[in-house]
Structure 1
Amino acid sequence: MTILPLRVTVAPERADAAPGDALTFDVTVRNASDIVEHYGVEFLGLPDGATVRTEPDVAKLRPGESASMSVRIGLPVQPPAPAGTYVAGALVRSKYRPEVSRCVEVPIELASVQQIAVRATPEVVTGGRSARYTIEVSNDGNSPVRLYLNATDPERRVTALFEPPSLDLPPAMSARALLSVRAPLPWNREKQRQLTITASPDQKGGASGAGTATFVQKPRFASKFAKVAGIGAAVLLLAAAVAVPTLLARTGEKDPVEAAQTGPVATPPAVAPSVAPPAEPTSAPTSAPPAEPTAAAPSESAPPANASASAPPPGGGPRVVDLTAPGDGVLPSDAFRDHGFLVSADPGKISVPGCEAATAAAVFTDPDGRKFLTSSNADDAGKCHSVPLMIDFLQGRPAGAVELTPLTKDALVMEVGYADLSLSTETTLTVRADKARARGGVDYVLVRPKSADGAATAPVALTSLRIAPLS
């Protein structure tokens, strides 16, 4: 029978712990040899990132003597060690005779900790009926989880769709999902909808994570009619400014302002000999009295500034709109109002670095001489062409059929919003008349690059739009 030259005991013999805990073990060593020995102790098999501190570092023992060493173990918090049972080994050995050693096993049970973080990018999106966010979910716990995503608002008016709807996350890992939301447009006031985004585990009792986002919706009335009302008011004022002096001249009256400055004017007799009859003017051309062309000018003037000579009359048949007709440069959103739609970019749909504020549309000619309508920065028509482009049909005038012609085939996809608030995705950039009619007409289309992970991969480039009225 071989007698071991040392004896080792560890107290406690096992331990339960959680990430971030500090454990203390007392290791007692007895020198069973016949010579003086120097013993040290170390712990093996601990989780990655754990720290070990021993006091004293070395126990000097004569034959038959015993000593106790205190070992303090710190478990990591971040990243947390995976949950489970770790069989640690308290290894005691001689400093000068490596063959003299002994190892005692100490089970350490590390508890499962779940900690989920949810973050939306961007945090605030301003748009119309729909918006899109990138949701990042992080598993800061120490055990794998399957999380189901959900988004709610206090009024329960927002419809949410996640792609994908669930995420499988190992410990200390993160993943992303695309969130598309849709809500009815407010009529005359801007609406801020507060969204609560949750990631819930599939197991009962598991920890959930939550984040917030804001969806700011522009009002239906302002977006469709405010600019038209402003233009109409300006036209009326201009017409009044031209017509009033003309009418005063025709009746022989002074301008009210001039009259107020010159004092009272005597009332002329019933028959004024100095006034010539209308049929015999003394200074005007004989072909027409001078006041007549002036009075008729407002009703025969040119159309408004944003009108197009090729704009179709209301209720016409199918037509093709040249989307490059306005010429190169950043366009106002109502550049195609006479054709029945508005154009703008929607940076909330796809996250394009540096283009978070790109909300304009532009006509651009590339180095190869190809001209197209695209999304752009409001200050530079040559930037941010990968941001989704919105074509929004005027209120009360939904399209009955839509067909877009891209610069490059099979590079774009079109999200379609209908009057009945339903959605569809069209890879052919076409909505047939029967489909549009069944859903009350096309309310808007959003054109974006094709991609598998939400990242922009190609520019949005369109040359023409074929549109038909709703029948």
Structure 2
Amino acid sequence: MTLPLRVTVAPERADAAPGDNLTFDVSVRNASDIVEHYGVELLGLPDGATVRTEPDVAKLRPTEAGTLTVRVTLPVHPPAPAGTYVVGALVRSKYRHDVSRCVEVPVDLAAVERITVQATPEVVTGGRAGQYTIEVANGGNAPVRLYLAATDPERRVTATFEPPSVDLPPGTAARALLTVQAPLPWNREKQRQLSITATPDLPGAAAGSGTASFVQKPRFASKFAKVAGIGAAVLILAAAVAVPTLLASRAKEKDPAPAPGSTAAVVVPTPPAAAPPSAAGPSAPPSAPASVAALPPAASAGASTAPTPAPANGGTTARDVDLTAPKDGVIPDDAFRAQGFLVSADPGAVAVSGCEGASGAAVVTDPDGVRFLTSSTADDPTKCHTVPLMLDFFVDAPAGAIKVTPVDPDALEMDVVYLDMTRSTEPTLAVTAAKAKAHLGIDFILIRPRSADGAATAPVALKAIRIAALGG
């Protein structure tokens, strides 16, 4: 049976993206023998699409043809899922519903990527490490797997994400924990700008990005607090000595003076008992009040009155640490954590051309088979061996004495920074227990090549270190 209706659509297919406007011309021919009124609607469009038809109805006489223009606007927010939509252009009579015809038009909707990255908080202030919560959202119209990364311009920050990647359907979001670590600055606050990226696993796909700041307090910041604590301890000790003396002095002023020729006895305390003094004893020269006499002898001038951390290993017994124990290659900065210190290169201490970003440490073997610990870049153990190498002892367990064993004993010298914020240079690569104790212990050491005319003459090459805990 021949239908009394003929329909064609132009274009026959369409390529589009979210937010596009599409136009279809629907041509209709009345093949019946009566006048008909025809309308058109599009079926199968993405959710949120809007349709407008001009004119709304085509009035056609027998054998007459007309064109209905259909304008479609695809949604932007949220975008329709990417893919191929088979759209049906349904033309039918307004008064005879059994008279209709549908023509299919494929519409290919392209994938769009809208990845957003936000860090909370935007600024973290801390020491060696900090943490952020990273929220990643997929505002596009296709599912994506995103790989997370964070970098800083100086490449001094190590970033770890948990989880390292996320799978996001369209219109969803997920969170990851970002932990960053970086070497502490020496004596001034350092603000590190972080660039955080979420990269899709599709070739050529654009990554989403965000920013955050990591503000690090300098190494010496904790030392000022420590000095304030020492000062407070000194004031407390001074008060413990002065207050009893003052009270005794006032008590003496209140006692009546003995009459001339009186045989009244002088009160003498009997240490260490705390019983009241007897007035019946023989006369004796006055002594200091018991509260003063019971105190230990005062510290000599220049001696520290601050509390000393409990020594490790049961006192000041020295321990030998093999600095070549890790396998060859770049080692993590906490490779010697069990031995009480961290290790890293410090390119800011002495300028070395081409090594401005070198912050690593490595164990290497030279052509003669000699193994040693040295400075290096973070990814290449063969570079930047003349950058100073830092051994940083834990704040709660400072070193009480050290002796470093190098490959060449005449090629290196050592800068020592103590807990009282003083420093010294030691050509012998050793610090005695007496010297360390006089300065409250060793905070960190910086070993660097001796130089001639400003040029380093040898690499930093260490074999072992002997460490003694801070004595009481």
TM range (shorter): 0.5 to 0.7
CA contact (8 A) 1:243 1:295 kept: no
2:82 is matched with 83
Amino acid at match of 2:67: S
1:59 is matched with 58
1:140 is matched with 139
Amino acid at match of 1:107: P
Q: Give the 3-state SS of the residue equivalent to 1:154 in structure 2.
A: coil
CA deviations 1:394-432 (Å, max 9, x no partner) are: 25539xxxxxxxxxxxxxxxxxxxxxxxxxxxxxxxxxx
Range 85-94 or range 113-122, more displaced: 113-122
Number of aligned positions between the proteins: 288
1:15 is matched with 14
Cα distance in 2 for residues equivalent to 1:313 and 1:106: 83
Which of residues 314, 327, 332 in structure 2 aligns to 1:317? 314
2:101 is matched with 102
Answering whether residue 165 of structure 2 is matched by residue 176 of structure 1, we say no
CA deviations 1:90-140 (Å, max 9, x no partner) are: 000112211110011111121222221111122112222111222221222
Which segments of structure 1 move beyond 3 Å, counting only runs of 4 or more? 231-244, 283-286, 288-291, 293-301, 304-307, 311-318, 395-398
Cα distance in 1 for residues equivalent to 2:7 and 2:97: 16
Which of residues 226, 235, 248 in structure 1 aligns to 2:224? 226
Mark the CA change 1:205 to 1:299 in structure 2 (over 3 Å): closer, same or farther. Answer: same
Q: Give the 3-state SS of the residue equivalent to 2:220 in structure 1.
A: helix
Residues 236-255 of structure 1: matches in 2 within 5 Å?
none
2:213 is matched with 214
CA contact (8 A) 2:230 2:306 kept: no
Q: Give the 3-state SS of the residue equivalent to 2:314 in structure 1.
A: coil
Gapped runs of 5+ residues in structure 2?
Answer: 243-265, 269-283, 316-339, 341-392, 400-443, 445-468
Q: What is the CA distance between 1:155 and its match in structure 2?
A: 1.2
Cα distance in 2 for residues equivalent to 1:182 and 1:149: 16
Gapped runs of 5+ residues in structure 1?
Answer: 245-282, 319-339, 341-391, 399-442, 444-468
CA contact (8 A) 2:35 2:61 kept: yes
Residues 119-130 of structure 1: matches in 2 within 5 Å?
119-130=118-129
Mark the CA change 1:39 to 1:108 in structure 2 (over 3 Å): closer, same or farther. Answer: same
Amino acid at match of 1:150: A
Mark the CA change 1:206 to 1:8 in structure 2 (over 3 Å): closer, same or farther. Answer: same
Answering whether residue 204 of structure 2 is matched by residue 166 of structure 1, we say no
Residues 322-401 of structure 1: matches in 2 within 5 Å?
394=395, 396-397=397-398
Cα distance in 1 for residues equivalent to 2:232 and 2:192: 35
Q: What is the CA distance between 1:294 and its match in structure 2?
A: 8.9
CA deviations 1:279-316 (Å, max 9, x no partner) are: xxxx999634889x999999659xx9997xxx975457
CA deviations 1:152-193 (Å, max 9, x no partner) are: 111111111112222222222222222111111223222211
Residues 391-430 of structure 1: matches in 2 within 5 Å?
394=395, 396-397=397-398
Q: Give the 3-state SS of the residue equivalent to 1:227 in structure 2.
A: helix
CA contact (8 A) 1:191 1:219 kept: yes
Mark the CA change 1:138 to 1:315 in structure 2 (over 3 Å): closer, same or farther. Answer: closer
Residues 254-273 of structure 1: matches in 2 within 5 Å?
none
Mark the CA change 1:295 to 1:235 in structure 2 (over 3 Å): closer, same or farther. Answer: farther
1:433 is matched with none
Cα distance in 2 for residues equivalent to 1:5 and 1:66: 12
CA contact (8 A) 1:284 1:290 kept: no
2:117 is matched with 118
Q: Give the 3-state SS of the residue equivalent to 2:52 in structure 1.
A: strand
CA contact (8 A) 2:233 2:306 kept: no
Q: Give the 3-state SS of the residue equivalent to 1:109 in structure 2.
A: strand
Amino acid at match of 1:196: S
Q: What is the CA distance between 1:50 and its match in structure 2?
A: 1.1
Cα distance in 1 for residues equivalent to 2:142 and 2:157: 33
Amino acid at match of 2:186: W
Q: What is the CA distance between 1:22 and its match in structure 2?
A: 0.6
Mark the CA change 1:232 to 1:288 in structure 2 (over 3 Å): closer, same or farther. Answer: farther
Cα distance in 2 for residues equivalent to 1:178 and 1:61: 67
CA deviations 1:50-81 (Å, max 9, x no partner) are: 11111222222222222221111011112212
Cα distance in 2 for residues equivalent to 1:64 and 1:48: 37
Radius of gyration: which is bigger?
A: 2
Cα distance in 2 for residues equivalent to 1:127 and 1:192: 10
Q: What is the CA distance between 1:235 and its match in structure 2?
A: 6.2
Amino acid at match of 2:398: R
Amino acid at match of 1:317: G
Cα distance in 1 for residues equivalent to 2:207 and 2:120: 19
Q: What is the CA distance between 1:142 and its match in structure 2?
A: 1.9
Cα distance in 2 for residues equivalent to 1:133 and 1:470: 37
CA contact (8 A) 1:152 1:158 kept: yes
Cα distance in 2 for residues equivalent to 1:315 and 1:300: 27
Cα distance in 1 for residues equivalent to 2:83 and 2:310: 74
CA deviations 1:364-383 (Å, max 9, x no partner) are: xxxxxxxxxxxxxxxxxxxx
Amino acid at match of 1:207: A
Amino acid at match of 1:229: V
CA contact (8 A) 1:126 1:215 kept: yes
Cα distance in 1 for residues equivalent to 2:236 and 2:113: 69
